[in-house]
Amino acid sequence: MKYIFNFMALVFICPTALAQINYCELEKSKSDKIFTVDKNDIICLSQNSEKEKTLVYTFGTWCAPCLKHLPNAIELAKNYNLDFYVLLVDKENSDKELAAIQYLNQAEENTNFKIKVVNLKDTNGKPNKKYKQFLNEITPSSFENINDMSKYIILDKLGNVLMITNWKDNKENDWDDDSQMIQKRIVPVLK
């Protein structure tokens, strides 16, 4: 039964995801395992999603909060029928990128939920520089732009950023559990 479900998922879900990627003309990472993106690509993906809202979750295997919060990000995407992307900031084809891809593939298998992994384009500089540039470009002026990871970025079908979190949104809670922050800051935007 599990094999039938996996086959059906490949037949019906993968073409949809590939159509989105092809329409946005994404480039493959130097590892040739995932696609690379910038702000405009993220907006294009949200505009061409079959779902009403898109969640982009920033992630690195070297980031403790990212690892702790990933299960909540997956649950949020499942429960609210979100198009779900995990955004890496690692250098393309680096050991860190490959480790993150492997970790996320395992998480996808364990949760039986499609995780679309993308990486910021290296053309924008080293990991920290390209991430700062991305945050400067994608963060609306109504949100505080803080260079941190484990961010939840919610976009609508028009490509508008409805929410972008930072560590301050969870500062009153236990840092390794962001479920209260999700309920307070993100869920209202999804309703």
The reported pTM is 0.86
**Structural domain tally of the chain?**
1
Across the chain, mean pLDDT equals 88
Which positions of the chain have pLDDT values less than 50? 2-18
Range of the domain at 117: 2-190
Beta strand extents in the chain (DSSP E only) = 27-28, 35-37, 53-59, 83-88, 116-120, 152-156, 161-164
Please write the tens of the pLDDT for every residue from 115-133: 999 999 987 668 888 999 9
CATH of the domain at 163: 3.40.30
What is the side-by-side order of every strand in the sheet holding 53-59? 27-28, 35-37, 116-120, 83-88, 53-59, 152-156, 161-164
